[in-house]
Structure 1
Amino acid sequence: MKKLLAGILLLLSVVMHAQTKVSGMVIDESGIPVPFANVLFKNSSEGTITNDDGRFYLESENTFTTLVVSFVGYATKEIPLEKRVNYDMKIELEEGEQLKEVVVYVGKQSKKNNPAIDLLRKVLERKRKNGVHGFDQYKYDKYEKVEFDLNTIDSSLIHGKLFKGMEFIFDQMDTSRITGKTYLPIFINEAFYKVHGDNKLSKKKEKLVGNRNSGFSSNQNIISFVQDLYSDYDIYKSYLKFFDKSFVSPISRVGIDTYNYVLTDSTYIDNKWCYNIIYYPRRKNELTFKGDFWVSDTTYAVKKINLQVTKSANINWVKDIYIEQEFEVLNDSVFLLTRDYMMSDFSLRKKEESRGVYGKRTTIYDNYIFDEEKPRSFYNEEVDRFDAQVYERDDTFWQENRLEVLNKNESGIYKMLDTLKTVPKFKRLYNVGEILASGYVEIDKWNMDYGPIFSSFGYNDAEGIRLRGGGRTYFGPNDRWRIEGFGAYGFKDKKFKYGISAKWLLDRENRLIISGGNRRDVEQIGVSLTPNNDVLGRSYASSSVFTVGSNDKLTNINLTTADMEMEPAKNFRFKVEGSFRMLRSALPEAFSLDYVDPESPTGVSSQVKQLELTTSLEYTPGRKTVGYGVERRDVNDEYARFYINYAKGVSGFLESDFDYEKIQFYFRKPWNVGGFGRLYTTVEAGKTFGEVPLGLLSIVPGNQTYFSIFNTFPNLDFYEFVTDTYVSMHLEHNFNGRIFARVPLLRKLNLREIVGLRGVWGELSEENIALNQPTNMLLQAPSEKVYWEYSFGIGNIFRVFRIDFNFRGNYLDMPDARRFSVTGTFGFHF
């Protein structure tokens, strides 16, 4: 009886939210599904196309009595709609001729005489003449609403154990106008912006005026995920980036070779005669869309467009992506974007009945004003990111500035979540999710977090089994100061290790931060060319449970640092630091850090004491962050990083041993190479002036673990190459399945091909070789020729695993040289 009542309530909610709803499947005379068929309400421009399985869902706020279904090669069929809601329809198309007034082309036929492609070329010729690009200056208001919903709600879920005691949340259920599935809103974020731009100066300024969300404003993980997930895109560009993937835009020259285009209809839209073009991919398993768009016959601007990711697209954890954009006619020559809607259906499986989470973003653009010139200084002024009023706007503000009214269920999210957070069971579920996302366990009553829990266990030859526990202060995501620390114990060496650091944000506007700390630990210091004085950091090598050969080249390190940094301009950081370190071997019988020391009674010293003063500059153009406290979280990862570091070693003070100078450069950049995937590049160079012991030289980073780790050489052992002058480059390209998608037997596995190439050249002076002679190690640099490696990898195995086959290119005659290795890694990637 309860299930029946729940079903009746769901049906009533469906009927009340739209005038006409239809769903079903389109098949041919043999019962085979017809994908990409055109489905629309008669005498309207409201329609959709069937998916890869021939299924469709369509709804409208208006009342329609006839549904029209058509596809190339079949006779158009009109179906009377006797009710406002018609679900599970089965529509059979018969082979026949198309409408005589419309010429259509399908398949991989010639593109020369296709009227749809002729129209598309005219759109591309005029794409910069439409919209805000047609004016010298522009400004507008932008309202953005991001929402997450639990979807595919049924009676078994409502009455299941998971939601016992929280059944009241289902009062907010609604039905998707795109998929026809029931859903429950669980998160909403609203933002209102004032946007100014100058096309002559190539400047744009976006000011956040108000921001509000339903109960998770302090959760940096959710906020950064949302902002990265829904970055801006332009349908006129060749590629649209979603989830770190580049999808081919149907409104592009690249699209002509990627999609089939069919001219299907023409009608008036807002008193403008427009043509309707359906598009769908030429090949499966590529990152493509299917859908349709309307084009004006005078301006050749896109009036309306729908994009839906094909089911065969090589993307994980996302069952569906649906996009709508609408444009307004300003005059005979200008169309302006007024509404942008995007919905993603996240799910562990791509089956139709599987549950998941909708992620939806709606952006409304209004109040356009043009050609009001502002001085260059207006655009150069930094937007105040720390205005607390932005996050404290009252209901009156949102009633005046919300450009799209919230529906009843969206409005109820705020109240519902306020109530939900008082339910103990929900708090437990939320805390578990937060622990998995951040790695920390919140202890609210002490204003601190325990963790990171993923570093609790480790193993190496010096410490044996290692257990670690740590924590940090945490009053909120925008804390101006933070103290962190850890303690660890090795069961083999029976020694206690620790680290503690503190940092304080003195000036938010210029991000002036002072920090310091101390760490005593066991570390593998030869795993990175670029310096890292993080007193809480730890390399993968010194904690890896399984390694190739002996992992015995470990160092006892006692490091103390004090530094000051500031960001005088956005993404430009300046830092000065002083550090003092003491280094000695953690396994003297297997690994030596000895060096010649005339002042020592034995002529040899085994410990290094060194004071170092450093100055560094870092520039990260395009980097986006969330938060304004002493710690911030990156929103995106496609930005470049330029880093230069100058270090001066000072002897005498605090018994410091050596005088030297060191300069180092680092560049890293991921590149989206259109439909060919993503290329990751790193270039490093450095030189040390002066004589220094092994612990202060630049070690080419080997990798004796079984994990694939970018910026290391997997066929090199630790300390196999040692340098005081070096240049290194790493290239890794992920084709995202573009090659495998063309192999019939591999196509359905959605595997991804990865290739890598890396090389390093370096020198080691005779003076440094002589100074380190007591180590009894063969110290050698790749100076005769560039040492290089290459690799072939297969990613997305079972959607979570990657395996790499690594080959050594030269220096094969070195003792115990590893010619070949296999490494792998786990990860969740879209």
Structure 2
Amino acid sequence: MIYNPKIRIILSLLIVLVASSAYAQQTVVKGKVIDAESNDGVPFVNVSFQGTSAGGATNFEGYFEISISQPVDSIEVSCLGYLPRAKAVKEGETQYINFQLIPSIHNLEEIVIVPGENPAFKILRKIQQYRDLNNMKSLSAYQVENYNRVQVSIDNMSDKFRKRKMFKSISNMFDSLQVIAGEDGQAVLPIFVSETVSNYYFRKNPEAKLEEIMATKVTGVGVENYQWLSQFVGSSFQVFNFYDNWVSILGKNFISPISGAGKIHYRYYLVDSVMIDDHFCYEMVVAPKREQDLAFWGTIWVEDSTYAILQLDLEIKKQSNLNWIEKIKIQQEFERTTAGPWLAVKTRALIDMVEVAKQPGFISKFYLSSKNIVVNQPKDIKFYQSGISVDPEAYLKDEEFWEENRHDTLTSTEKEVYHMIDSVKNLPTVRTLVDVIEFIVYGYQPVGKFDLGPYIFLYNNNSIEGHRFRLGFITNQKFSTNLILRGYLAYGTKDRRGKYNAQLEYIFSRKPWTKIGLQYRDDIDQISVTDNFFAKNNLFQFTAGFTSSDRLNNSLEYRIWGERMLFNGFNQIVMFHNKTFKPLGENFKFGYYPDLTDKTRVDSKFSTSEITLESRYSARERYVYTHLYRISISSHSRPPPVFTLRYQLGIKGLFGSDFQYNKLMFNVKQTLKFGVLGKSNYSITTGKIFETLPWPLLKVHKGNETIVSDPDAFYLMNFFEFVSDEWISLFFEHHFDGLFMNRIPLMKKLRLRTLIMTNMVYGRLKAENNVQIDDQGNDVTIVDDNGVVISESFSTLASAPYIEVGAGIENILNLIRLDAVFRLNYNDQKYLDVYPRQVHNFGLKISFQFRF
């Protein structure tokens, strides 16, 4: 022990000087790590001083701060999926250093696999053991306040594209943006941005969801109606739950890395254990066993006591069997609720679309922050009824409101986005490009308050009209957001007669949906092809117009209808319809007996007046609303069945109606998802007509003599081939997606997808309904050996159901679907001897579809 006071004072001074020297030598580095392509902050990046163990990780926004007291000369950052980088530091100073990381291929070869059981499997078993306890869906209810931001930008503008004269103004703007992006950054040109503050509610049993949008701010190139678009950019469409076996993204099901079947599809690597915000975590890397599978690459951090996901950084790569996508990236950060399960409090998603034919690509970024979490306080089921609601003053919030209610502060670049989009919108080149794209996709050309079209019906040709020309229109939101006028004028060069359609619709309320409509129409129809008011397949109707049909009729009709959603998922339509039917052409010699007891009187023209009641129900179905329509949004993971019941009452004598009848139809359809095995679509319809009627008023099963497929038509059945007064039909398809093609070496790069299908219908026709005479009363029927009546007019399905099967390849050039179909019956010689028209036993049908 030292007793000399002078020595003790000297030693104390030395200790203070050494400590002060050490403090003076401390090196502090603050900064941000961003993705060089998206310019977003990169979370969970390892940041350290080179040659030391001192360091840390970036937070969810990409920011970091590390310090050290020993001598250092550089700092390095590294993250799976990016090239590592290092920069020099100034020793003993506090400084700001930012990094731009360039994405790279995941390098899993550096991970060493040791003999024995994969240590990651032990962690995986624990995750699955506690999955239900950690899953937010185990809560009886929860609610959160969400802040959501969406931004869409143009990227990857090629030199060839930039040299085009019409895009020079955009090219100049890109040059300025490249300077801002920095040496390693990539310039992106924002064309859309939105911000939303909402309250999101979830109830488990019965399952129900509601998003109340309290404030929204939307601007974008070509975006004129913000009110309906704000419903799409809310947080409802950005919920990713990796505790489910399947995660739905862009309408596709991706297998979760922690799924019970995960070992079949993934390779797992336990690479480290780290401390994150006082939580000890296991760091686990996952990678698909097959690159083409719909699966994720990346890293998951698992909390060691609850085995819950604390944070994740996952990516879907270009090699996956997806169209138009360069990559999808999802990053999440979780917090534990007071009840135990964990909720994602921050989510960032990025969708990078590839350039097509050397055109610019697009990059979409989504950011979601959640706070004020309340759990296990379910509200009455009626509270969730609207699904999505928007506060009437949501669009009126000022900048002061946004400064106070954003969960995070915007960077200076993010604040500048709104000004940049306004600049882009004012470029004449951009306006022209937007108009061209809208015309191609929408089918109409905007002209002030009216949209002219659709262009697909501008020209057609048939045996009655010869060359047919048609011009139509529909009002847009500039005219009214509630009143909709639409119609067309048509003229045939052969019959030299004008045709027309005039239609008015008025939307009284969008919540609940309440609309009425009026229509007056005089035109030419093809039975069961163009005379269905509820059918919407324009391409099929267009191609059917060019077929050599000999059963065209003139329809003079008017209808009035009302539509209302009585409660969530249940929609009701009430319609009155009056129609006069008149056969056209020398080849359509149709006749019927107005009085079945008087065979001396024959007529070919008739009128009907009917009342239609239609009810449609689908659980868990939600809607978003435009100025014209409402768009159905069903559950992505478990789409519910859709039930439709339709009753039609014909009233004889009302406005000249010739018939009294009752018709009943019931349909159920659904999409069933089977994960990696694909998905099935089915539609089952049954119906009955109770009275005796002329055959055009019976069920004329929808055939298809065109090259284009129609989901409601039998591929190889002729037009007007079969008629029934009671029937049941099935349309079934199973889409394997890339299940088989992904495993064929020479085919998997083409990203083709396979499917199988079968369609069948069985029906009956009462003898009194099977009356087939011409307009002079002459019998045109033929009776086969079995007593089945067949004629030039139609056949019946009394002997057996009609069946066709087929297989198809879809995703040809990312757009085309080609089906090869075989007709299994009603094609033997006995049938052909009495049925005078040609029957095709095999056929190819084509369709076009935009799918990811």
Length-normalised TM-score, structure 1: 0.83
Distance 1:468 1:228, change over 3 A: farther
Correspondence for 1:346 among 350, 353, 358: 353
Distance 1:644 1:231, change over 3 A: farther
For residue 66 of structure 1, what is the aligned residue in structure 2? 76
Give the Å deviation of 1:508.
4.1
For residue 811 of structure 2, what is the aligned residue in structure 1? 796
Query: Do 1:608 and 1:695's aligned partners in 2 also have CA atoms closer than 8 Å?
Result: no
For residue 820 of structure 2, what is the aligned residue in structure 1? 805
For residue 21 of structure 2, what is the aligned residue in structure 1? none
Query: Do 1:440 and 1:451's aligned partners in 2 also have CA atoms closer than 8 Å?
Result: yes
Give the 5 Å matches for 1:687-726. Answer: 687-726=688-727
Q: Distance in 2 between matches of 1:282 and 1:433?
A: 39
Q: Deviations over 1:166-187 (max 9, x none)?
A: 545765669899x953312221
Q: Which runs of 5+ in 2 are unaligned?
A: 1-29, 38-43, 67-73, 90-97, 781-791, 833-837
Give the Å deviation of 1:790.
0.3
Distance 1:477 1:221, change over 3 A: farther
For residue 597 of structure 1, what is the aligned residue in structure 2? 594
Distance 1:425 1:294, change over 3 A: same
Length-normalised TM-score, structure 2: 0.81
- In the alignment, structure 1 residue 357 sits paired with structure 2 residue 357: no
Give the Å deviation of 1:138.
3.2
- The structure number with the bigger radius of gyration is 2
Distance 1:20 1:323, change over 3 A: closer
Correspondence for 2:132 among 128, 132, 151: 128
Distance 1:510 1:66, change over 3 A: closer
Q: Distance in 1 between matches of 2:99 and 2:573?
A: 65
AA in 2 matched with 1:533: F
Q: Distance in 2 between matches of 1:643 and 1:365?
A: 38
- In the alignment, structure 1 residue 196 sits paired with structure 2 residue 201: yes
Correspondence for 1:817 among 839, 842, 846: 839
Q: Distance in 2 between matches of 1:80 and 1:394?
A: 43
Query: Do 1:503 and 1:630's aligned partners in 2 also have CA atoms closer than 8 Å?
Result: no
Q: Distance in 1 between matches of 2:391 and 2:108?
A: 63
Give the Å deviation of 1:478.
7.2
Q: Distance in 2 between matches of 1:19 and 1:538?
A: 52
Give the Å deviation of 1:686.
0.6
- In the alignment, structure 1 residue 249 sits paired with structure 2 residue 250: no
Give the Å deviation of 1:661.
0.7
SS at match of 1:410: helix
Distance 1:716 1:687, change over 3 A: same
- In the alignment, structure 1 residue 485 sits paired with structure 2 residue 482: no
Q: Distance in 1 between matches of 2:265 and 2:535?
A: 51
Q: Distance in 2 between matches of 1:477 and 1:259?
A: 54
Give the 5 Å matches for 1:338-737. Answer: 338-349=345-356, 355-371=360-376, 373=377, 375-376=379-380, 379-380=383-384, 382=386, 385=389, 387-444=391-448, 447-476=449-478, 479-527=481-529, 532-533=532-533, 540-541=540-541, 543-544=543-544, 547=547, 550-587=548-585, 589-598=586-595, 603-627=601-625, 629=627, 631-635=629-633, 640-737=641-738
Give the 5 Å matches for 1:132-171. Answer: 132-133=136-137, 135-152=139-156, 161-165=165-169, 167=172
Distance 1:829 1:229, change over 3 A: farther
Query: Do 2:804 and 2:823's aligned partners in 1 also have CA atoms closer than 8 Å?
Result: yes
Distance 1:377 1:758, change over 3 A: closer
AA in 2 matched with 1:211: T
For residue 94 of structure 2, what is the aligned residue in structure 1? none
For residue 18 of structure 2, what is the aligned residue in structure 1? none
Distance 1:135 1:88, change over 3 A: closer
Query: Do 1:451 and 1:470's aligned partners in 2 also have CA atoms closer than 8 Å?
Result: yes
Query: Do 2:208 and 2:620's aligned partners in 1 also have CA atoms closer than 8 Å?
Result: no
For residue 53 of structure 1, what is the aligned residue in structure 2? none
For residue 109 of structure 1, what is the aligned residue in structure 2? none
SS at match of 2:800: coil
Give the Å deviation of 1:684.
0.7
SS at match of 1:482: strand
For residue 283 of structure 1, what is the aligned residue in structure 2? 290
Q: Distance in 2 between matches of 1:147 and 1:22?
A: 15
Q: Distance in 1 between matches of 2:599 and 2:277?
A: 94
Query: Do 1:258 and 1:283's aligned partners in 2 also have CA atoms closer than 8 Å?
Result: yes
Give the Å deviation of 1:422.
3.6
Q: Distance in 1 between matches of 2:399 and 2:480?
A: 24
Distance 1:295 1:597, change over 3 A: same
Give the Å deviation of 1:257.
0.8
Distance 1:542 1:697, change over 3 A: farther
For residue 114 of structure 1, what is the aligned residue in structure 2? 118
AA in 1 matched with 2:653: G
Query: Do 2:557 and 2:579's aligned partners in 1 also have CA atoms closer than 8 Å?
Result: yes
> 192-201 or 578-587: which moved more?
192-201
Q: Distance in 2 between matches of 1:95 and 1:627?
A: 50
AA in 2 matched with 1:737: G
Query: Do 1:150 and 1:184's aligned partners in 2 also have CA atoms closer than 8 Å?
Result: yes
Q: Distance in 2 between matches of 1:39 and 1:113?
A: 29
For residue 9 of structure 2, what is the aligned residue in structure 1? none
Q: Deviations over 1:88-137 (max 9, x none)?
A: 89999999994xxxx658xxxxxx92221221121122122226456555
Query: Do 2:663 and 2:690's aligned partners in 1 also have CA atoms closer than 8 Å?
Result: yes
AA in 2 matched with 1:65: I
User: What root-mean-square deviation, in Å, do the aligned CA atoms of Structure 1 and Structure 2 show?
Assistant: 3.8
Q: Deviations over 1:147-198 (max 9, x none)?
A: 1011135887777634444545765669899x95331222111111113345
Q: Deviations over 1:225-264 (max 9, x none)?
A: 7679944331111111222211111121122210000111
Q: Deviations over 1:708-760 (max 9, x none)?
A: 22221111101111011010000011111211111222222211101101110
For residue 30 of structure 1, what is the aligned residue in structure 2? none
Aligned length: 767
AA in 2 matched with 1:578: F
SS at match of 1:540: helix
AA in 2 matched with 1:405: T
Q: Distance in 2 between matches of 1:425 and 1:244?
A: 33
Query: Do 1:458 and 1:544's aligned partners in 2 also have CA atoms closer than 8 Å?
Result: no
Give the Å deviation of 1:145.
0.9
Query: Do 2:178 and 2:186's aligned partners in 1 also have CA atoms closer than 8 Å?
Result: no
For residue 13 of structure 2, what is the aligned residue in structure 1? none
Identity %: 26
Give the Å deviation of 1:458.
2.3
Query: Do 1:763 and 1:783's aligned partners in 2 also have CA atoms closer than 8 Å?
Result: yes
Q: Distance in 2 between matches of 1:405 and 1:302?
A: 26
Q: Distance in 2 between matches of 1:408 and 1:70?
A: 28
Distance 1:802 1:536, change over 3 A: closer
For residue 797 of structure 2, what is the aligned residue in structure 1? 782
Distance 1:620 1:214, change over 3 A: same
Q: Distance in 2 between matches of 1:478 and 1:261?
A: 57
